Structure 1
Amino acid sequence: MRISELSSATGVELETIRFYEKQGLLPAPARQDNGYRSYNAEHLERLSFIRHCRALDIPLADIRRLTTFINDPADDCGDINLLIDQQIARVKARLKSMKALEKQLSQLRARCDERHHGRECGILQELVAAAHGEACACHPPDTKKA
């Protein structure tokens, strides 16, 4: 199949497929006499695997490691478990960070009573103050350092 067909079958953009090839995540396809790439079921399966891993937000370096396990399976899956445990830790850290962001935005949103407009808007005043390095509702001064 041609690259456009592989793209359609997997939902992966053409440039992304080429990038994965350059990164060695996707085996280089055979070339037809006219120079077009010729992909097969192995490419479709590997690209679907990569796409699923990316949907789980697994970094490319870890996907590369997972593909080596596919190509040369080990007796146990301890390294694979460790890789996934590390991904879980990254997700937990991001969730904590996103929760803090939500709190900051909620505090910022509370600054607007909707009776003021333009420069009188509490949200804009807070954002301008923060841009000038002043403490604001969404970034109160750090009292723990003292």
Structure 2
Amino acid sequence: MENTQENLTIGAFAKAAGVNVETIRFYQLKGLLPRPERPYGGIRRYGRTDVARVKFVKSAQRLGFSLDEVGRLLKLEDGTHCSEAAELAAHRLAEVRARLTDLQRMEAALAKLVGECKAHSGDVSCPLIAALHCC
């Protein structure tokens, strides 16, 4: 059988979706991807909609959505639940902004310590190591 976009083996499906076979199986286990029926004596086949679904999952993950959140988004994917999807995205956005604030605080603290290390001279203890010991 030929591997067309509607007749993909799991290996060809994984390649078309840009993931590995284990990812496909994991998504099936998590309920993010349906497992097609296996014909008697045959192998499961996947199609273009399966590839699109995996790409949707990967896109959502790149935006920071957890697999549970991706599952919720998949249930809303018919496009008629935009307010519910927006609520999930607003929650994700708030978490991203909080992480950015934390990262900016960390960046400032590290920049200060690196500056102190560069200005440090003599046999006195390293300002970075001393700062890590105190907290």
Shift of 1:92: 0.5
**Cα distance in 1, alignment partners of residues 72 and 20 from structure 2:** 23
Partner of 1:63: 70
Residue equivalent to 1:113: 118
Structure 2 distance, partners of 1:121, 1:19, is 50
Unaligned 5+ runs, structure 1:
136-146
Equivalent position of 1:126 in the other structure: 128
| 3-state SS of paired residue (2:76) | helix
Q: Are the structure 2 counterparts of residues 50 and 2 from structure 1 closer, same or farther at C-alpha, using a change threshold of 3 Å?
A: same
Counting only pairs closer than 5 Å after superposition, residues 54-93 of structure 1 correspond to structure 2 as 54-70=61-77, 74=80, 76-93=81-98
Superposition RMSD on alpha carbons, in Å?
2.6
Shift of 1:111: 2.4
Which structure is higher in RCO with an 8 Å CA cutoff and minimum separation 6? 2
| Distance verdict in 2 for CA 1:115–1:39, change over 3 Å | same
User: CA, structure 1 residues 120+3, in 2 after alignment: closer, same or farther (shift >3 Å)?
Assistant: farther
Give the aligned length.
128
5+ unaligned residues in a row in structure 2: which ranges? 1-7
2:96 matched to 1:98? no
Find the counterpart in structure 2 of residue 144 from structure 1.
none
Q: Alpha-carbon deviation of 1:47?
A: 0.6
1:115–1:78 CA distance, 2 compared to 1 (3 A): closer
Q: Which residue of 2 aligns with 1:39?
A: 46
Which residue of the partner structure matches residue 13 of structure 1? 20
Could you tell me whether the CA contact under 8 Å between 2:17 and 2:51 is conserved in 1? yes
Q: Normalised by the size of structure 1, how large is the TM-score?
A: 0.73
Render the CA deviation track for 1:31-82: whole Å, top value 9, x for unaligned.
25556432112211111111111111111111111111126x54x5211111
* Structure 1 residues 35 and 102: alpha-carbon distance in aligned structure 2, compared to 1, 3 A threshold: farther
